[in-house]
Structure 1
Amino acid sequence: HFISSTDLCPSKDIRNNVTNLRSLENCTVIEGHLKILLMFTTKPEDFRGLSYPKLTVVTDYLLLFRVYGLESLSNLFPNLTVIRGNNLFFNYALVLFEMLQLKEVGLHSMMNITRGAVRVEKNPDLCYLSTLDWSKILDSVEDNYIVANKNDGECGDVCPGMAKGKTTCPQTTINGHFSERCWTQKHCQRMCPSSCKHRACTKDNQCCHDQCLGGCLEPNSPSKCVACRNFLHQGVCVERCPPGFYTFKGWRCVDFAFCQALHNKCKQGKQGKGGECHEYVIHHGACIPECPSGYTTINSTTLNCTPCAGLCPKVCMGLKTVDSVTAAQALRGCTVLNGSLVINIRGGNNIAAELEANLGQLEEITGHLTVRRSYALVSLSFLRKLRLIRGETQEVENYSFYALDNQNLRQLWDWSKHNLTILQGRIFFHHNSKLCMAEIHKMVNMTGAKDRQVKNDIASKTNGDQASCENQTLKFTTIRTLSDKIIIKWEAFWPPDFRDLLGFMVMYKEA
């Protein structure tokens, strides 16, 4: 049963209209999940004659929610045999929730749910649940959550042959209750002889090859399996992928070129529009979306993950605006921002600690850094590892660092401990009323931007105008303490520009 690329479908999210189900027509395997949900106008007759017999395997999970008029899945998916559960929906591989007209599950070919449990809840008309033995399909039966469906006593479930007084379906014991097992009035629950490994047999109960899962078309042939217990390689089920091939999404073998094409496609797409995709890499014989924790990929030719020396680099992409703690959390762990950072934090509790926790690993910004109207900030020291701003993309008029209207900003960094280089572009400071000019000049000198600066980039009148920036010692001539007052006299003081002196304020405290 060699699966060609046309039989292989990505995850499906089918909603609103029954005609959207047509996208399932050619799917044999859904590599991902299948969600069918939110069809409020559908009626039972809309589903009559609808069938997708090709579908045999879903690699992640199957979820149905509020599909009105759907009474059974027996015609819709008559050959769905395996749900692998590689990625689960909150620990569940099969979810039937609030299916108001569903009368039976009816997945009569289902033989194996490899990982994850079953959640069947709030389906008020749903019967044929007590006639199922889930332990023959999945291992973790105790994790199943089957509640708030139709009361067993009101169901009157009849398995095939019962009406004629025959026992045609297999019988098992659940909670001390021995009875027949069936999906519907017409379909028994299929069970293989106990001698067959991994619950896989032909329709006439001959055991399948050891590598099969869920069933097979011929006994003892690894190329005739319905699904594979381990991996599918060129139409044959194998225990592990042969040399030169890599496991992919937990169920099939792909070659290096396939993995590299995925990697490159994403890389090119990101340069174009910065969309969400994965630059696939190779690690421990698998082609996976990204390196595991503690590993990084150094080049795009081998794709191999190598252990990091110290903290792993994490490259984040695009223009990022941090206007809340939530927005900052999206940058947690980023060491390089391939783009620009705009900080616009108006207020919030414990902001400095939150920003340091989420932005504290950032070492390099390829674009520009803008801090505007961030009234909650007193310092930029939360960017404690920032060493380089490349300035490859800049704010208007060629600014790589841009600070505007930050009313409480008093300090940038502790320059005795912090090195920052700005490779190109200029520095802009306006309307930072508590930030002294001396602090700004330190930054201009430290970052290497001094020779690029233009006259009005830094406004001497609107930076530090509400802070006591320049300290000069007054010469006191008289200090007399009386019982109810202190008399102080000092020599007249005039700054170079007398307009800079607004007045004198004398502060005191009890000793």
Structure 2
Amino acid sequence: MAIRCKERMGCDEEDIQLQYLKHDSTVRPRDAKFVNVLKQAMTNGQWLKLATVFYVVEDPNEKGSYLVLDGNHRLAAMNAYNDDLTTKGVVQGRMISGKGSFFSVNLNFSFMSTISHVLLVTTLPLAVCPFTLNGHPSDLRCGPLDIRLASDRFFGPNGVNMSKREMQRCAIVDGKFLLSGANATYNTTEFPVFPKLREITGLLLVYGVRGLTTLRHIFPNLRIIGGQSLIENYALVIYQNDDLLEVGLNKLTTIVNGGVKIEQNVRLCFLLTINWKDMVIGEPRDIMINQYDARYSNRRVEVPKCNATCNVEDKSECHHFSRIDLYGQTKLSCWNSTACQRNCPYHKLANGSIGPGCAENGERCHDLCLGGCMVPNDKSSCHTCRHAVHNGVCHHRCADGYYKLPNKRCITRAECDAIPVTNATFDSVSVNRKLIWKSFHKRCEPECPAGFEEDKENPRRCKKCQGYCPKCCRGGTVRDVEEAQKYRHCNIIENHLELFISAHSKTGCISLQNTIIRTEDMHEWTEQKLIKAFGNIHEINDYLKIAINERSLYMFKNLRVIHGYKLWNGSYALSVDYSKRLRELFGREVKIENGLATFHHNPILCYDKITKFMHDAGVIQSSANVSHIDVSPYNNGDQQLAPRGAVGRHHPRANTTLS
């Protein structure tokens, strides 16, 4: 970091020693108990922060010394640790000086042995050497990460090979973290370690990896999974890992959005001892858990007996399940036999709302935090921010002159304009091949909001539409509710749209050892999310194909016409099949300008409703024109009973009425 600033910013460097950093007692008193907690962590080798940041100001009374404004507890703990060494360690470092009054001091240290302690100190003058700070000044934000085929092959954004050393500096991963498909057997220690990584904003997928027995080695400090991207509504997916013995995400406290799916890991233990429900704070809250089943393995694997017993010495800080065991005690929640799931009274508050979490000493974090923090009531030490973050400090919103990125960071207009133009990803709905980020209405995003369009004279800005300016989008296939949200601003689908949203992704239940326990009815939530996703679509140029588990097609509340320029299977502008809960169609007239409609295997969708819709849509002149090939009279509405007094037939074979 110092070299980078020197080369790019023209800053000078000079040496500094730890002894010249002093406690500023006018800022805040020190908590001796918390200092001792940090010192013990260093002594026991549990201090895993390879870099820590101090904010300092020059001491007006002593030249060459600096008063610590933020980090006094850490400074005291480091000094106490040094004092305990038999031989004092050499403390040295490099300071980048400048004209600004405030400096970010980055201290990297390693424990060389029991008698030596080397502390490298680097400072960056924020006023003199400005560069884009990624969250907290010491944080390195990384793009999506993909480790596959081998434990030492890293792929970053757009499939670019990334160095192992660079990736291991990541504190935050913006996007997905995928660990999958290692084609050889490795030892757990051969996999990369991400000691600084505390947050994954997208999803975490661990799939088909051999030789991996625990995730504890890879993610020793992972606290938060954001779930901004999901797989079938799941933010954490651990699937078909034959050698995995425990999950081992001991520091994980919060899954902001999405659920958990852990299945077909034949040797996995300590799975039912984790309170996943407490960890998942957003929607959907699907939790699908199966501890082990040897039938799913592609190779012969010895499946040991799972003795999931928690033998934690100090149980006072452990989380307990609400259910009672055979001895009348609440059941302990633990990750393995010696590590329990930490209890935090401020994780979820008494009124049911999501709290800020706990600091390392168990005290309450600042209300702007989410998922915990390092220092209590300090909005600059949050593991992640609830609303917005600027220079490592959490805020309710970005200040005037700043624009909020999708990852909550606040940046200037100049920084937003400096984001490179990129090619649209394969799953993007944008009809533009190039994505140009725009600063508008306090946000920095690649698309203009509804009612606005890209300014032709300056594509980095948006301007208000003169009259109707529909937003055109590329269609595609949608397989889960969260994936559907990318269509929420779309008015015209330029090609086709296919919905295959299966029942299992919206059951809103916990599956434990193949036993289903209802936690809440998720169907209403799902319907509202689908209305939000598709409610603004007015036209579809080609065809619409649907196989869903909803009660109606009201999510297309503003759909007016399906043009049928290109047809599914050469004949159909609309296909609705295998929708087991579907009772109603669009709830409004939808015109089909070209092509036919087909309905099959919709057991409670009345046959008469189908033919009426087809007549109103202009597909048929009367019900007598309906072909059995297009609309089956045998598997549509065959499980629906006609209410008393109903006019007309609901199914050609059923005359049953409710009494």
Q: TM over 0.5, yes or no? A: yes
Q: Secondary structure at the match of 1:60?
A: coil
**Mapped partners of 1:154, 1:92: distance in 2:** 28
Letter in 2 for 1:11: P
Deviations 1:416-461 (A, max 9, x none): xxxxxxxxxxxxxxxxxxxxxxxxxxxxxxxxxxxxxxxxxxxxxx
Partner of residue 41, structure 1: 184
The Cα of 1:333 is off from its aligned counterpart by 6.6
Structure 1 83/99 Cα, relative in aligned 2: closer, same or farther at 3 Å? same
Q: Secondary structure at the match of 2:176?
A: strand
Q: Secondary structure at the match of 1:67?
A: coil
Letter in 1 for 2:399: P
Matched, 1:349 2:506: no
**Mapped partners of 2:424, 2:176: distance in 1:** 26
2:321 counterpart (151, 162, 173): 173
Matches within 5 A, 1:151-170: 154-161=305-312, 167=315, 170=318
**Mapped partners of 2:424, 2:184: distance in 1:** 42
Between 83-92 and 104-113, report the one with greater CA deviation. 83-92
Partner of residue 256, structure 2: 114
Deviations 1:303-362 (A, max 9, x none): 23535622426499xxxxxxxxx995499779xxxxxxxxxx9996238x69xxxxxxxx
Structure 1 79/305 Cα, relative in aligned 2: closer, same or farther at 3 Å? farther
Structure 1 63/307 Cα, relative in aligned 2: closer, same or farther at 3 Å? farther
Matched, 1:304 2:440: no
Letter in 2 for 1:94: L
Equivalent pairs: percent with the same residue?
28
Contact 2:136–2:393 (8 Å) recurs in 1: no
1:252 counterpart (409, 433, 438): 409
Partner of residue 237, structure 1: 394
Contact 1:282–1:303 (8 Å) recurs in 2: yes
Matched, 1:183 2:316: no
Letter in 1 for 2:387: N
Contact 1:9–1:27 (8 Å) recurs in 2: yes
* Rg larger for: 1
Matches within 5 A, 1:223-302: 223-262=380-419, 265-266=421-422, 277-299=434-456, 300=458
Partner of residue 625, structure 2: none
The Cα of 1:201 is off from its aligned counterpart by 1.5
**Mapped partners of 2:244, 2:450: distance in 1:** 43
Letter in 1 for 2:454: T
**Mapped partners of 1:246, 1:346: distance in 2:** 43
**Mapped partners of 1:112, 1:179: distance in 2:** 21
Matches within 5 A, 1:328-347: 328-329=495-496
Partner of residue 211, structure 2: 69
Structure 1 10/276 Cα, relative in aligned 2: closer, same or farther at 3 Å? farther
Structure 1 6/232 Cα, relative in aligned 2: closer, same or farther at 3 Å? closer
Matched, 1:212 2:369: yes
Matched, 1:83 2:242: no
The Cα of 1:294 is off from its aligned counterpart by 4.8
Q: Secondary structure at the match of 1:173?
A: strand
2:344 counterpart (173, 176, 192): 192
1:25 counterpart (168, 172, 187): 168
The Cα of 1:276 is off from its aligned counterpart by 5.1
The Cα of 1:47 is off from its aligned counterpart by 3.0
The Cα of 1:240 is off from its aligned counterpart by 1.0
**Mapped partners of 2:392, 2:319: distance in 1:** 35
Structure 1 237/213 Cα, relative in aligned 2: closer, same or farther at 3 Å? same
**Mapped partners of 1:349, 1:93: distance in 2:** 38
Matches within 5 A, 1:342-491: 349-350=570-571
**Mapped partners of 2:541, 2:238: distance in 1:** 37
The Cα of 1:73 is off from its aligned counterpart by 0.6
Unaligned runs of 5+ in 1: 317-325, 335-344, 355-380, 383-511
**Mapped partners of 2:234, 2:373: distance in 1:** 26
Q: Secondary structure at the match of 2:417?
A: helix
TM-score (normalizing by structure 1): 0.56
Contact 1:295–1:312 (8 Å) recurs in 2: no
**Mapped partners of 1:62, 1:268: distance in 2:** 23
Contact 1:126–1:150 (8 Å) recurs in 2: no
The Cα of 1:41 is off from its aligned counterpart by 0.3
Unaligned runs of 5+ in 2: 1-52, 54-134, 155-163, 295-302, 350-354, 426-430, 475-492, 498-538, 543-565, 575-592, 595-659
Deviations 1:59-87 (A, max 9, x none): 11111110111110111101000111122
**Mapped partners of 2:422, 2:336: distance in 1:** 46
Matched, 1:8 2:141: yes
Deviations 1:6-47 (A, max 9, x none): 711001122111112525311100011101111120322553
Q: Secondary structure at the match of 1:96?
A: strand
Letter in 2 for 1:44: N
Aligned length: 328
Between 107-116 and 126-135, report the one with greater CA deviation. 126-135
Structure 1 305/250 Cα, relative in aligned 2: closer, same or farther at 3 Å? farther
Letter in 1 for 2:231: F
**Mapped partners of 2:378, 2:416: distance in 1:** 29
Structure 1 33/276 Cα, relative in aligned 2: closer, same or farther at 3 Å? farther
Deviations 1:221-267 (A, max 9, x none): 111122212221111011111111121124211221222222x6248
2:196 counterpart (48, 51, 54): 54
Q: Secondary structure at the match of 2:389?
A: strand
The Cα of 1:88 is off from its aligned counterpart by 1.8
**Mapped partners of 2:432, 2:245: distance in 1:** 42
Partner of residue 506, structure 1: none
Letter in 2 for 1:98: Q
**Mapped partners of 1:121, 1:268: distance in 2:** 33
Q: Secondary structure at the match of 2:421?
A: helix
Structure 1 315/193 Cα, relative in aligned 2: closer, same or farther at 3 Å? closer
Letter in 2 for 1:37: S
Contact 2:495–2:541 (8 Å) recurs in 1: no
Structure 1 148/104 Cα, relative in aligned 2: closer, same or farther at 3 Å? closer
Letter in 1 for 2:405: F
Q: Secondary structure at the match of 1:39?
A: coil
Partner of residue 582, structure 2: none
Letter in 1 for 2:271: L
Letter in 2 for 1:137: M
Letter in 2 for 1:280: W
The Cα of 1:283 is off from its aligned counterpart by 4.8
Partner of residue 125, structure 2: none
Letter in 2 for 1:25: Q
**Mapped partners of 1:74, 1:312: distance in 2:** 49
Letter in 1 for 2:145: K
Partner of residue 235, structure 2: 93
Contact 2:141–2:170 (8 Å) recurs in 1: yes
The Cα of 1:195 is off from its aligned counterpart by 8.6
Partner of residue 406, structure 1: none
Contact 1:84–1:113 (8 Å) recurs in 2: yes
